[in-house]
Amino acid sequence: MALVTTAEVCDANPQLIVSGELRALQPVFQIYGRRQVFSGPVVTLKVFEDNVLIREFLEEKGNGRVLVVDGGGSLRCAILGGNPVVQAQNNGWAGIVVNGCVRDVDEINGCDIGVRALSSHPVKANKKGIGEKHVPITIAGTRISDGEWLYADTDGILVSKTELSV
């Protein structure tokens, strides 16, 4: 999304907002990482206070994708830390959106990747490997499916059923 803001996309596409083809997530996320603007096709994951599957995904080549994790909105531990974010950066992920907490904030903020999360928390997650991959999730009042497109900047996060030509 070169130099076109999420606000401009919304202004230019009111019909897509009305139809539900373009949705804005509720403004509940904090901005982490050096890349404040990012976009890409979505990969979904649903976990709760467990980060094994997150790490597995981020070990794969990202190819400009965005990992969107429904962590159940838990504020009791961090499901994403600095090491997996460094790996995501090195593997070509465009960004990570977490409906949960992160830790190692200084390390994450040094990475050239976009990260959004509810907050930070010093306690680490469980390591049981429980969760669901590639399933529809609902975070920040918005249903998101694998293969949709996510656009994030400092104004907010948009999800579209298809890639927007802006």
Closest by Cα among 111, 108, 106, 133 to 50: 133
Other Cβ atoms within 10 Å of 116 Cβ, number:
26
Task: Please give the Cα distance from 140 to 150 (Å, whole number).
Answer: 13
Question: pLDDT for 55-107, tens place per residue?
Answer: 999 999 999 999 999 999 999 999 999 999 999 999 999 999 999 999 999 99
Is 81 one of the annotated binding-site residues?
A: yes
Is 84 one of the annotated binding-site residues?
A: yes
Q: Please give the pLDDT value at position 128.
A: 96
Is 103 one of the annotated binding-site residues?
A: yes
Chain-centre distance for alpha carbon 93: 10
**Would you place residue 20 in the very low, low, confident or very high pLDDT band (cuts 50, 70, 90)?**
very high
Task: Please give the Cα distance from 119 to 77 (Å, whole number).
Answer: 10
Is 104 one of the annotated binding-site residues?
A: yes
Question: pLDDT for 23-61, tens place per residue?
Answer: 999 999 999 999 999 999 999 999 999 999 999 999 999
